[in-house]
Amino acid sequence: MALCGVADTGSHSMDKSITLPPDEIFRNLENAKRFAIDIGGSLTKLAYYSTVQHKVAKVRSFDHSAKETDGDPLYEISVQEEITARLHFIKFENAYIETCLDFIKDHLVNTETKVIKATGGGAHKFKDLIEKKLKLKVDKEDEMTCLIKGCNFVLKNIPHEAFVYAKHADSEFRFQHTHPDIFPYLLINIGSGVSIVKVEAEDKFERIGGSSIGGGTFWGLGALLTKTKRFDELLQLASKGQHTNVDMLVKDIYGGAYGSLGLTGDLIASSFGKSATTDKEFSKEDMAKSLLHMISNDIGQLACLYAKLHNLTRVYFGGFFIRGHPVTMHTITYSINFFTKGEVQALFLRHEGYLGAIGAFLKGAEEDNPNQYSWGENYAGSSGLMSVSPELNPIQRARSGTFDMLEMDRLERQLVNLPLLQDATSYIPDTVDLTEDALAREYWLYCFEEALDGVVKRAIASQKDQPEAVERAEKFRQKYRHKLQTLRHQPFAYGSLTVRSLLDTREHCLNEFNFPDPYSKIKQKENDMALKYYLKVVKSVEELSWEQRQFNLVKGLLAGNVFDWGAKAVSDVLESDPEFGFEQAKQQLQERPWLVDAYNQWIERLKGPPHKCALFFVDNSGIDIILGVFPFIRELLIRGTEVVLASNSGPALNDVTNSELQILTERIAAMDPVIHAALKEDRLALVQNGSSSPCLDLRKLMLCEVPLRLDKVLATVVRERGTDLVIIEGMGRAIHTNYYAMLSCESLKLAVIKNSWLADRLGGKIFSVVFKYEVPSKAQGQH
Amino acid sequence: MLLKKHLFLISVLWKPWSFPWFGMDIGGTLVKLVYFEPKDITAEEEQEEVENLKSIRWYLTSNTAYGKTGVRDVHLELRNLTICGRTGNLHFIRFPTAAMHKFIQMGRDKHFSSLHTTLCATGGGAYKFENDFRTMADLELLKLDELDCLIQGLLYIDSVGFNDHPECYFFENPSDTQNCIKKPCCLDNLFPMLLVNIGSGVSILAVYAKDDYKRVTGTSLGGGTFLGLCCLLTGCETFEEALEMASKGDSTNVDKLVKDIYGGDYQRFGLQGSAVASSFGHMMSKEKRESISKEDLARATLVTITNNIGSIARMCAVNEKIERVVFVGNFLRINTVSTKLLAYAMDFWSKGQLRALFLEHEGYFGAVGAFLELLKSSDDA
């Protein structure tokens, strides 16, 4: 019976000055195109597409046909400009709309843009203004269609988009791990009325029901009862009231519970029932609270009836009634729990306010096929979820009254799951959720803040030739520090907070200020140095007995992994003592038994038949890859196992990138006939993993084989080669993420814990060794 | 001879169901009382009848109003009813639950406890006031479950009929306001039915047979909500006043309709322009708040509550796969706006699949059920 219609604006006057410099809000307007606007009852959401030019580090091999001299570096590093696509979404109060349109008009260069897609109840009200100011034709799109399109888009592209709200839990927001298949779901949009929409596929949805008792009823009836005009103020009143003064409870009728039906005494029997029988004054707060309960319970009940009828368990709530208000999220959650006895969970969305704008934009951009790409939230350019508890964070609350931004970057390709995951739907990459683990959160936030100076120093050093790098690095420092501070107060701002997300945020911020690869020079130096020792290491290993050799290779792999600029303990040592050598690292390692020690099982396995194909997710450049990984895989190759080395597509810390690894592999092949033959016979292949993070999300791999079969996804590689062993190396990939990942083939997860706090938490000391060898249980599925 | 003597003894010793016969349903807002007035009292009985019993009978049957707030619904009286071998009239009386203590005092003053009768009571108040009955009036209540009573009472009244007329009715042409007419009907089989009881709050039951039912759900948006909100919004004090205002008001001044948002129908979803998009939606605007009347507000409140109940009832009917939806409860008393609206909503939103049925003794079935229990319990004794 009702719709997602929009309410009249509260008639309060609003300061029209913009509090942030507008060019930091409407970014990249100079090449913006494809505008869309969603004008709601009080907020306007603007969307556009832009291309961003930013620097990327490239490596290029020198021509080594000429006679080499000892001092020559292995490859050259150059910085190139790259253009990537970005989506911008900005949310602001309707009061600013004219100022914003003026700003856009003044900065809009692109003359190709002729149309602006518009949706939302306010679209027709501002149509003339938009057409006059921007000289763009307003093209209206159906509100519900936009909403659903937007909802599909965020659910597909943003991990941790949906969350469960738990008022009294340690973390109010419990983020959901997105199911790869988002359909079917139910969207309950609570605008002035309520619309209940069943979504079965990208373009298949149906409004299956609704109710006229919605946000407009709360606002309208609330205004009549309490003489309070604004929606937010009504919610404020409600949060202070006692509904039991106004409502007739079961115990008011029964004197206690209605036991035979299982109705507790505190249950509301009749909303506003007491105001019908008692002759007294009721407080505004109590009436507002009673009204809030009445409406939330009613919506929750209808939602449950529809969910049951259509057999759906995923129910998302949106609309201005919800929009991040803890009070309404709490009452709706309570109602859903009550009516479904926990069978259905009320889910909310981090970017709920943007759905209409995203959908309208997608409608207008259909020819660009935005849905065929994967998009990722840019943490540097997005405001994140506000804390909406006013008592918790008054300053942040005030900010939400001005501008809020979301930016999404186009990822180069569609990302896919690693086919070897035992259960992709239940796979959670991150080992610790810092949103829920307050102690760990505190430590890691402190850790990243401590490391910031070093990162800034390194960033400047990587661009010594550019004097303004200092200034940029300073801006980076401010931005990242601000992000860390935000996360301290609102750990839920960007979904589940994890070590991975902290690292990724840092990479996004570095990129934002054009520091694409601060470690490029260090990596180059280390690679050069390590290559010189390669043959020596290989030779010394070859002389050992089989048993000794295996142990030495594993130790080498682990020792190599000590060389990690990502870990502060190590970067301190590396910086103060550049001679910290491979052998010394081996001595630093923990003696067996290790913290996690499955070495004996591994050795027993090696005595058996060789693996068919090993997929190795590598970590750092320099000693790690050259002196640790290569001798190890060399042994595998000799045993008759094919090897696929998966490395990062883009730079992150001192992790070896795919382009660097290609050069290194060629150089090693030139020295070592075993590697040479393996490359030639395609028994050794290199793939990029699609990531620019020191961590690894096995759900988001873009795996294409380089250089021979460029567009082949890993799925094919894994299947064709019959991969039966996955090796994951390093703290970022094997400890912070994937520690608990269950694979359908044998796996080896190894790392040296280079952080005393983490070591302590795992029950060990710094430089403790994790050597986890797992074989999937054969009996699986027989139970 | 022996047989004759035996019969004589029986007639002297057998005092099966001592009068008075009451059934009581103490709800959140109203107390419903049914009283059986025997019309076949013999001269002998008349003589034996104790004084206070006589005075109770006299008080109840010669008045139609009791105190300031008690009312006898004369038009509902069932005449010449034969039950347990006795013939008489069944009277229907109600008063506000707020007057419960006065009622208990009256029971004490009239020495009700000396009558050796059982007071069968149902509704939440049977539990809430049990102790007050005991301590104030020395009366023991026989407490009965309200849903059991509701169903037994309903089935009984439906079976005996309403003074030779059917108890049940429906609306013909519910979607056509001009030609929508109330029509009595006899149902050969009531089962399965969805029973929607609208008192202060609402309970929804799926009834499959006389003794087979379940409570499907309930909502707190019921009659109490209508009256409560009306009192707050308009300053009225009684249900009658609220309904009187509602009958004169126009809810479209208060509610936002589909056409107020979309200019007409919302065709994408097949919604008519006249459908309510947001109840009280116009009240978000200050000018609109200042331009509406109390009557409009009362009407909007009534329409909002009624539509919501209709909507939940319809969803339950679909989920439970039941086509007959029977609405009862005192919210429907003198409330044709709501009965017609419910009939319309059931018909329209189900595309004619569901039928709304109503009963003349809308709010009294719980009390009748309690009354029936009295006779049954004496039978068992």
Distance of CA B125 to the CA centre of its chain: 15
* Per-residue pLDDT reduced to its tens digit, B205-225: 999 999 999 999 999 999 999
A43-61: strand order across its sheet: A137-140, A115-119, A33-39, A43-61, A75-93, A403-410, A375-377
Tell me the H-state helices in A270-324: 273-277, 284-309
Predicted local distance difference test score (pLDDT) of residue B190: 85
* Per-residue pLDDT reduced to its tens digit, A376-415: 888 888 888 764 444 433 333 343 446 788 999 887 666 6
Mean pLDDT of all residues in A23-41 = 83
Please report, rounded to a whole number, the percentage of residues in chain B having pLDDT higher than 90. Answer: 73
Q: Amino acid identity of A760?
A: D
CA distances from A116 to A127, A136, A139 (A): 10, 6, 6
pLDDT at B292 over 50: yes
Query: Is the Cβ–Cβ distance between B28 and B201 less than 8 Å?
Result: yes
What is the spatial distance between Cα A537 and Cα A562, in angstroms, rounded to a whole number?
A: 17
| Whole-angstrom Cα Rg for chain A | 29
Please report, rounded to a whole number, the percentage of residues in chain A having pLDDT higher than 70. Answer: 87
Question: Out of A79-93, A618-632, B343-357, which region has the weakest mean confidence (pLDDT)?
Answer: A79-93
* Residue A418 Cα, gap to closest chain B Cα (Å): 41
Comparing A695 with A565, the larger pLDDT belongs to A695
Q: Cis peptide leading into B192, omega within 30 of 0?
A: yes
Decide: residue B317, CB within 10 A, 0-12 exposed, 13-18 middle, 19+ buried.
buried
Q: Do A276 and B233 touch (CB under 8 A)?
A: no
Q: Do B283 and A220 touch (CB under 8 A)?
A: yes
- B297: region left, alpha or beta (phi > 0 left; psi from -120 to 50 alpha): alpha
- Closest residue by Cα to residue B354 from B339, B344, B369, B368: B344
Decide: residue B165, CB within 10 A, 0-12 exposed, 13-18 middle, 19+ buried.
exposed
Predicted local distance difference test score (pLDDT) of residue A368: 73
Comparing B175 with B295, the larger pLDDT belongs to B295
What is the spatial distance between Cα A55 and Cα A52, in angstroms, rounded to a whole number?
A: 10
Predicted local distance difference test score (pLDDT) of residue A719: 78
Predicted local distance difference test score (pLDDT) of residue A97: 87
What is the ipTM for the molecules in this complex?
0.93
Predicted local distance difference test score (pLDDT) of residue A243: 96
pLDDT, mean over chain B: 90
Predicted local distance difference test score (pLDDT) of residue B168: 96
Q: Do B318 and A269 touch (CB under 8 A)?
A: no
Element of type H or E holding A418: none
pLDDT at A17 over 60: no
* Residue among B280, B309, B315, B346 with most chain A CBs within 10 A, to mutate: B280
pLDDT band for position A112 (50/70/90)?
Answer: confident
Reduced to 3 states (helix: H, G, I; strand: E, B; else coil), residue A636 is: helix
Q: Do B277 and A193 touch (CB under 8 A)?
A: yes
Comparing B52 with A263, the larger pLDDT belongs to A263
Distance of CA B173 to the CA centre of its chain: 25
Exposed e or buried b per residue across B17-44, where buried means at least 16 C-beta atoms within 10 angstroms of its C-beta: bebbbbbbbbbbbbbbbbbbbbeebeee
Quickly tell me which residue has 């009984």 as its tokens.
B156
Neighbours of A89 (CB within 10 A): 24
pLDDT band for position A5 (50/70/90)?
Answer: very low
Among the partner residues A207, A224, A270, nearest to B233 by beta-carbon distance: A224
Predicted local distance difference test score (pLDDT) of residue B303: 97
CA atoms within 13 Å, Cβ hemisphere of A475: 13
List the structure tokens of A209: 């029901």
What is the spatial distance between Cα B253 and Cα B291, in angstroms, rounded to a whole number?
A: 9
- DSSP output for B341-378: HHHHHHHHHTTT--EEEEETTTT-HHHHHHHHHHHHHH
Question: Which phi and psi angles does A232 have, rounded to 5°?
Answer: -60, -40
pLDDT band for position B99 (50/70/90)?
Answer: very high
Length of chain A (residues): 783
Mean pLDDT of all residues in A637-661 = 91
Among the partner residues A255, A258, A305, nearest to B315 by beta-carbon distance: A305
pLDDT at A15 over 60: no
Using an 8 Å CB-CB cutoff, list chain A residues near B307.
Answer: 1, 212
Q: Which residue of A has its CA nearest to B319?
A: A309
* Per-residue pLDDT reduced to its tens digit, A265-318: 999 999 999 998 777 889 999 999 999 999 999 999 999 999 999 999 999 999
pLDDT at A773 over 50: yes
Q: Do A216 and B280 touch (CB under 8 A)?
A: yes
What is the spatial distance between Cα A655 and Cα A731, in angstroms, rounded to a whole number?
A: 12
Predicted local distance difference test score (pLDDT) of residue A204: 94
Predicted local distance difference test score (pLDDT) of residue A70: 52
DSSP-derived secondary structure letter, B271: B
CB interface of B with A, residues 155-194, below 8 Å: none
Mean pLDDT of all residues in A428-442 = 88
Quickly tell me which residue has 């059920």 as its tokens.
B369
Q: Amino acid identity of A343?
A: E
Using an 8 Å CB-CB cutoff, list chain B residues near A297.
Answer: 219-220
List the structure tokens of A28: 């990249």
Predicted local distance difference test score (pLDDT) of residue A772: 96
Tell me the H-state helices in A310-369: 326-340, 355-364
Query: Is the Cβ–Cβ distance between A321 and A191 less than 8 Å?
Result: yes
Predicted local distance difference test score (pLDDT) of residue B129: 96
What is the spatial distance between Cα A709 and Cα A704, in angstroms, rounded to a whole number?
A: 7
Residue B110's contacts (CB-CB under 8 Å, 6 or more residues apart) are: B52, B55, B56
Neighbours of A237 (CB within 10 A): 22
pLDDT at A20 over 60: no
| B219 at interface of A, judged by CB pairs closer than 8 A | yes
Comparing B292 with A386, the larger pLDDT belongs to B292
Given the residues B37, B77, B130, B146, select the one marked as catalytic.
Answer: B146
Q: Amino acid identity of B226?
A: F
* Per-residue pLDDT reduced to its tens digit, A604-636: 999 999 999 999 999 999 889 999 999 999 999
Comparing A400 with A445, the larger pLDDT belongs to A445
Comparing A337 with A717, the larger pLDDT belongs to A337
* Per-residue pLDDT reduced to its tens digit, A487-530: 998 888 888 899 989 998 998 999 889 898 888 888 888 888 88
Using an 8 Å CB-CB cutoff, list chain A residues near B278.
Answer: 2-3, 5, 7, 191-193, 212, 214-217, 220
Among the partner residues B215, B304, B319, nearest to A212 by beta-carbon distance: B304
Predicted local distance difference test score (pLDDT) of residue A326: 87
Using an 8 Å CB-CB cutoff, list chain B residues near A253.
Answer: 27-28, 123-125, 128, 200
pLDDT at A712 over 70: no
What is the spatial distance between Cα A577 and Cα B12, in angstroms, rounded to a whole number?
A: 118
- Closest residue by Cα to residue A433 from A653, A171, A180: A171
Exposed e or buried b per residue across A49-71, where buried means at least 16 C-beta atoms within 10 angstroms of its C-beta: bbebebbbbbbeeeeeeeeeeee
Q: Which residue of A has its CA nearest to B289?
A: A224
Question: Which phi and psi angles does A770 have, rounded to 5°?
Answer: -110, 120
Q: Amino acid identity of A280?
A: K
* Per-residue pLDDT reduced to its tens digit, A330-385: 999 999 999 998 889 999 999 988 999 999 999 988 777 777 777 888 888 888 87
**Is B244 tagged catalytic?**
no
CB interface of B with A, residues 307-336, below 8 Å: 307-308, 311-312, 315-316, 318-319
- Closest residue by Cα to residue A163 from A457, A445, A401, A492: A492
* Residue A276 Cα, gap to closest chain B Cα (Å): 4
Using an 8 Å CB-CB cutoff, list chain B residues near A11.
Answer: 285-286
Decide: residue A424, CB within 10 A, 0-12 exposed, 13-18 middle, 19+ buried.
middle
Among the partner residues A121, A247, A258, nearest to B124 by beta-carbon distance: A258
Neighbours of B171 (CB within 10 A): 24
Predicted local distance difference test score (pLDDT) of residue B37: 94
CB pairs under 8 A between A and B: 220
Mean pLDDT of all residues in A649-678 = 92
What is the spatial distance between Cα A82 and Cα A650, in angstroms, rounded to a whole number?
A: 12
Predicted local distance difference test score (pLDDT) of residue A120: 87
CA distances from A266 to A248, A251, A334, A337, B295 (A): 9, 6, 14, 16, 33
What is the spatial distance between Cα B193 and Cα B322, in angstroms, rounded to a whole number?
A: 6
Residue B117's contacts (CB-CB under 8 Å, 6 or more residues apart) are: B18, B19, B20, B21, B22
pLDDT at A577 over 90: no
Q: Do A142 and B98 touch (CB under 8 A)?
A: no
CA distances from B89 to B21, B77, B78, B92, B370 (A): 11, 7, 6, 10, 17
* Per-residue pLDDT reduced to its tens digit, B143-167: 999 999 999 999 999 999 999 999 9
Reduced to 3 states (helix: H, G, I; strand: E, B; else coil), residue A25 is: coil
Question: Out of A527-536, A625-634, B86-95, which region has the weakest mean confidence (pLDDT)?
Answer: A527-536
